[in-house]
Structure 1
Amino acid sequence: MDFKNLIDFLRALQKNNSKEWMDQNRKWYKDVRDDYISWLDRMNAKLATIDDEYYDTPGKKGINRINNNLMFHPHKPIYKDHFGAGFDKRPGTGDFYIEIGIERSIMAGGFWRPGPKTLKSIRDAIDYDGEELKKILDKKSFKDLFGGLYEDVKLTNVPKGFTNDHPHIDLLRNKTFAVATEFSSKEVLKDDFEEKVIKIYNEMLPFRRYLNKAVTV
């Protein structure tokens, strides 16, 4: 995968974020996108060998659109400043997300502000065996990579059905259950980048399995 070409394309796109420029550089975009999809296919195959519950996600299925959704975000530029994709995208569960950007890139997983039904399932799981989730979050290697749960909106009041003295009330107040780690574009260009992806996938796997079990069982 020529990640330098991908990053060069994104830099040029952000300087000329217009349909006219994209139309003039459609072949460059297609070459970068096809190369990225081929890389996703290779990583999809690798991840399937280390996770016996892995949900096959070919590159064309995992890749996200480069267009921003202007219907809901009319003030955003037409095109994103990154290429994003999901691995292990079993319907109704939280996938393993990777985003390759210009200056920073991200690997993340879990649920970002899930709907009421999904959020209730996660809270019910925490009520039942929150110690298991705490054990995952408190593991040193996990904390070194992700720090903890992604900081997002939390309830100021106690969630419905729970009490203020619940042993896991701090977890229950969360509205997002996800973790993420950022890295620079320089790290993407290193020879060991694929090994880094696999390492982070493995470290995140118990967390994602806990949540996915909560919303599917």
Structure 2
Amino acid sequence: ILQRLPADANCNYKMPDTLKKLAVDYGHICMLAHNAKYYRNPKDAPAGYLVANIIAEQATMRTMGVKDMPPAMETGRVAILAKVIGKALTDKRFEIKSQVVKSLESKSKENKSDIAALTCACIGSTTNVKPTAALYQRIAIIRSVAAKNMAAAKAAENSKAEDKFWVLVDQKLEAWRNTLTAPGALQGMYAKTYDADVAKHGKPDSTVPVTPMKDVADWLVTLCGAMEK
């Protein structure tokens, strides 16, 4: 989709508010996908790779009642939609990293740093994402990378160092996928990282409801699948 962009990118198109809000929500939700392969464009992938995968899930957007999705041939409008989603990805990525750093630096007993508290902080109050065991594991992995790379984790938003942090996360996930190929080995590493997080930061707050994966809405599963490509 994005390879055919900007022939009409400067058209006088005002994105409907409902579509803009949904695009932002989708970007935030995708950054919270427990199965994300990458948090930044993979090496050697075309520019806008992640955004293109999300936009490709237009059918999912339409099932939510949004009828203003621009068709693929209207490249200028698609470019505007891509820009909104791309900014949402960046904003949520930085928010997650900030919450992870805060949890590592917290010294006060009043500021809970268990994985349930951290996951809820990363989710925030504006998305339809609910805590799941798989998301707990993914946030624990991100925190484990931050703990070993605090300089990169604490870097300012959009700086090269901030990019480096998420590159480090992506590299760890990719290395595990490439080396832990035996049945159950990859999931075992996820569980091991989660267990280490619990040992260090305490058991997850039992008052936080954990949603079974079978109860996650189908449209959320489909959308998050865009991050697994």
TM-score, normalised relative to structure 2: 0.27
Q: Judging by fraction of residues, say which structure has more helix.
A: 2
Q: Judging by fraction of residues, say which structure has more strand.
A: 1
- Higher relative contact order (CA closer than 8 Å, sequence separation 6+): 2
